[in-house]
Structure 1
Amino acid sequence: MEKKTTNIMEINDIVALVKLASLLFAGTIMLQCFFAKASVQNNKLYEECSIIGIGFFIFLLLFIYVIWSFSTSKRHLTKTKNNIQIIENIIFMSIFFIVILISGGNTSQYKVLFLFIITTTTIQSGMKRGIITALISSLIILGIDIMAMPKAEVNIYFENDLILCGVFILTAWPLGYYVKLANKSINKLTSLANEDGLTGLYNHRYFYDALINSIKEVDKKKCKLSVIFLDIDYFKQYNDLYGHQEGDNILREIGNILSEYKKLNFIPARYGGEEFAVIMPFTDEKKATDIAESIRKKIEKKYFKGQENQPNGNLTASIGISVYPDRAANEVELIKSADDALYKAKFFNKNRVETYTSILDEIKGDIDEKDIELVTSIKTLISVINAKDRYTYGHSERVVFYSKILGEALNLTEDEKRELKYGAYMHDIGKINIPKEILIKKMPLNDKEWNMLKEHPQNGVDIIEPVKSLSRVKPIILYHHEKFDGTGYPEGLKENEIPYLARILTVVDSFDAMTSNRPYNKRKTYSEGIEELRKWSGKQFDPKIVDAFIKTLKENVDELNSLR
Structure 2
Amino acid sequence: MNKIINNRQKKVYEIICIVKLISLLLCGIIIFKNYFDSSNINGRSAIEFLDGPSIGTSVSVIAMIYAIWLIFSINKIDVKYIKIIHTIENFMFILIFTVLVISSGAHVSQYKILFLFIIITSTIQSGIKHGIIIACVASTIVLSIDLIYVPNVDINQYFENDLILCGIFIITSWLLGYYVKIEDEYAEGLSNLANIDGLTEIYNHRFFHDTLKEIIVQAEQSKLPVSLIIADIDYFKHYNDIHGHQKGDEVLKKIGYILKNNVRESDIVARYGGEEFSIILPDTDENDALVVAERIRAAVEMWKFEGEKDQPKGNITISVGVSTFPIKAKNEMELVNSADDALYRAKFFNKNRVETYYSVIEELKEDIEAEHIDLITSIKTLISVINAKDRYTYGHIERVVMFAKLLGNRLELTDEEKKTLKYGAYLHDIGKINISKEILNKKMTLNKDEWEILKQHPANGVELIESVESLKDIVPLILHHHERYDGTGYPMQLKEKSIPYLARVLTVVDSFDAMTSNRPYGIRKTYEDAILELKRCSGSQFDPGIAEIFIKVVEENKDKFDNLTLFSEK
Q: Within 2, Cα distance between the matches of 1:94 and 1:187?
A: 35
Aligned residues: 556
Moved more, 543-552 or 147-156: 543-552
User: Could you tell me which residue of structure 1 aligns to residue 221 of structure 2?
Assistant: 220
The offset of 1:85, in angstroms, is 2.1
* 2:567 corresponds to: none
* Equivalent residues in 2 for 1:374-389, closer than 5 Å: 374-387=375-388
> In the alignment, which residue of structure 2 is the partner of 1:278?
279
Counterpart position of 1:523: 526
Measured after TM superposition, the shift of residue 354 of structure 1 is: 2.4
Q: Judging changes above 3 Å, is the alpha-carbon distance between structure 1 residues 512 and 330 closer, same or farther for their aligned structure 2 residues?
A: closer
Which residue of structure 1 lines up, in the alignment, with residue 185 of structure 2?
Answer: 184
**SS of 1:257 mapped into structure 2:** helix
Which letter does structure 2 place at the counterpart of 1:522?
A: K
CA distance in 2, matches of 1:117, 1:517: 67
Aligned to 1:85: 86
Measure the CA separation in 2 of the matches of 1:300 and 1:75: 48
Q: In 2 relative to 1, CA 532–171 (structure 1 residues): closer, same or farther, beyond 3 Å? A: closer
- Shift of the 172–537 alpha-carbon distance from structure 1 to 2, 3 Å rule, reads closer
Contact between 2:28 and 2:60, CA under 8 Å: does it hold in 1?
no
Structure-2 residue corresponding to 1:15: 16
**Shift of the alpha carbon at 1:515?**
6.5
Shift of 1:560: 5.2
Residue 296 (structure 2) aligns with: 295
Q: Distance in 1 between matches of 2:123 and 2:537?
A: 84
Give the aligned partner of residue 154 of structure 1. Answer: 155
Q: Distance in 1 between matches of 2:558 and 2:242?
A: 32
Check conservation: 1:319, 1:341, Cα contact below 8 A: yes
Structure-2 residue corresponding to 1:116:
117
Aligned to 2:236: 235
The root-mean-square deviation of aligned C-alpha atoms, in Å, is: 3.7
1:380-432 Cα offsets, whole Å, 9 max, x none, are: 44334445655544443343234335545656454433222111112233455
List aligned pairs for 1:20-419, cutoff 5 A: 20-36=21-37, 53-54=54-55, 56-66=57-67, 68-69=69-70, 73-74=74-75, 80-260=81-261, 263-387=264-388, 390-408=391-409, 412-419=413-420
The secondary structure found in structure 1 opposite 2:264 is: helix
| Cα offset, 1:553, TM superposition | 7.1
Counterpart amino acid of residue 13 in structure 2? N
**Alignment CA distance shift 1:305-1:498 (3 Å):** same
1:405-554 map, 5 Å: 405-408=406-409, 412-432=413-433, 454-465=455-466, 467-510=468-511, 512=513, 519-525=522-528, 529=531, 542=543
CA distance in structure 2 between the aligned counterparts of 1:495 and 1:232, rounded to whole angstroms: 45
What is the identity, as a one-letter code, of the residue corresponding to 1:170?
I
Distance 1:294 1:76 in 2: 40
Instruction: Report how far residue 348 of structure 1 moved.
Output: 3.5
Unaligned runs of 5+ residues in structure 2 are 565-570
Distance across 1 between alignment mates of 2:80 and 2:558: 57
Q: Which moved more, 1:449-458 or 1:231-240?
A: 449-458
For residues 494 and 440 of structure 1, what CA distance do their matches in structure 2 show? 30
CA–CA distance in 2 between the matches of 1:460 and 1:289? 36
Task: Give the Å deviation of 1:76.
Answer: 8.8
TM-score (norm 1): 0.86
TM-aligned CA deviation for residue 445 of structure 1: 7.7
Alpha-carbon shift at residue 458 of structure 1 (Å) = 3.0
CA contact (8 A) 1:516 1:524 kept: no
Residues 1:6 and 1:388: Cα distance change in structure 2 (over 3 Å): closer
Q: 1:289 to 1:469 in 2, by over 3 A?
A: same
Cα pair 1:317 1:352 within 8 Å, conserved: yes
Residues 1:137 and 1:462: Cα distance change in structure 2 (over 3 Å): same
CA contact (8 A) 2:262 2:292 kept: no
Give the secondary-structure state (helix, strand or coil) at the position aligned to 2:423: helix
Change (3 A) 1:29 1:471: same
Tell me whether 391-400 or 94-103 shows the greater mean CA deviation. 391-400
Identify the range of structure 1 (285-294 vs 68-77) with the bigger mean alpha-carbon deviation: 68-77
What letter is aligned with 2:32?
L
Q: Which moved more, 1:502-511 or 1:139-148?
A: 502-511
Q: How far is the alpha carbon of 1:282 from its aligned partner?
A: 0.9
Shift of 1:210: 0.8
Q: Point out the more displaced range, 233-242 or 91-100.
A: 233-242
Say whether the 8 Å CA contact 2:124–2:177 is kept in structure 1: yes
Tell me whether 200-209 or 333-342 shows the greater mean CA deviation: 333-342
What one-letter code is carried by the residue in structure 2 that aligns with 1:319? V
The 1-side partners of 2:444 and 2:28 are apart by 86
Q: Retained in 1: the 8 A contact 2:52–2:103?
A: no
Amino acid at match of 2:296: I
Distance 1:516 1:500 in 2: 25
Q: Which amino acid aligns with 1:87?
A: I
Q: Give 1:215 deviation, angstroms.
A: 0.9
Shift of the alpha carbon at 1:77? Answer: 9.7
Letter in 2 for 1:108: S
CA separation in 2, counterparts of 1:83 and 1:174? 25
Question: Relative to 1, partners in 2 of residues 1:434 and 1:350: Cα closer, same or farther, differing over 3 Å?
Answer: farther
Q: Which moved more, 1:229-238 or 1:160-169?
A: 229-238
Deviation sequence 1:255-314 (CA, Å, 0-9, x none) = 212223563401111223222221111111121122122222222222222222233332
* Deviation larger for 296-305 or 278-287: 296-305
Bigger drift between 97-106 and 355-364 goes to 355-364
Query: Is 2:432–2:457's contact at 8 Å kept on the other side of the alignment?
Result: yes
Cα distance change, pair 438–66 in 1 and its aligned pair in 2 (3 A): closer
Secondary structure of the residue that 1:263 maps to in structure 2? coil
Query: Offset at 1:507?
Result: 4.1
Letter in 2 for 1:523: T
